[in-house]
Structure 1
Amino acid sequence: MRAVLFDRDDTIIVDEPYLADPKLVRPVPGAEQALRTLREAGIPLGVVSNQSGVARGLVTEGELAEVNARVEELLGPFGTWQMCVHAESDGCDCRKPKPGLVIRAASVLRVRPGECVVIGDIGSDMGAAAAAGARGILVPTARTRRAEIAAAPCVATNLREAVGMVMGEWG
């Protein structure tokens, strides 16, 4: 594995539905340290996130950019931000569980999709990883369905443990 891609909401920041206000950005517990660990190891990081609030008219692209900038202020820089701003009915190739976001992020980070780990909190994150040929690590939350946990290729109890799994592969 040569790069790590994170889902945004409920993976690195606390989920606020259709988050449009950067003041509401709150990192999940342990996110800052987990990301620092990867950066100190020289591992490229990216974010891959479905943001259908833009298509629904609930979040503007400017607000989305402001929220993502706030995430970087709190958690440090990411080498790429790949956002799907489409609705489910749009038929795009980027909405997770389709592979588009992972493939684009890998390209920007100059690695093959198969050299990436995708860390996320729901089945569509794991689906996107599998569809792109990447490895997936699920970090369940209270909203993660049991079937998604059962189907996940790898499950961590929290972000710190997920990063530990990634680091174990590099070590």
Structure 2
Amino acid sequence: MKQLNSYTGIIKIMGLLVLLPFVAYIFAISKTVSMYRNLKAQEQLLYSTQNISDNSPEKIVALNDNEDVKSGAVIKILSTHMADNSTMTDSYTPTLSYKSNGFAIYTGELILSGPFIDLTKLMSKLENEERGYKIASVKYKTVNDVRSRNVKLMMTIIIQQVNKI
């Protein structure tokens, strides 16, 4: 019995030396460490976004002078690619979305109809033109055509372009 009592003291001391710091880390320090890691990750992300080089595509797009979205030249560009497939242009609506500090953002809503593969190829060609506009959104939907009693696929593309005024 005396030997058991002498080992209990050693077990208590080991518990205080090993178990107490472990429990303290779990309940108090682990949250602080995870918050510190998140802070460092956010700082690194902020630092990397501030150091965009001067010849990056984002800055080239912002300083582009052509006005394809505003003038409707996007339709002319698409017509060269549309001869290959059976897609049709249903409508195109350019609007001025934002204007400030010598820059204007023009948004064009382009509605096309046709087979899925042809629409997707057309969107890919439009995206790879490198004329200073970017595709912001694409939406596919099916519409019942009352006249021909068919279902047709329509694709709505939102294109945005930043122009210097």
TM range (shorter): under 0.3
* TM-score normalised by L of structure 1: 0.27
Structure of greater Rg: 2
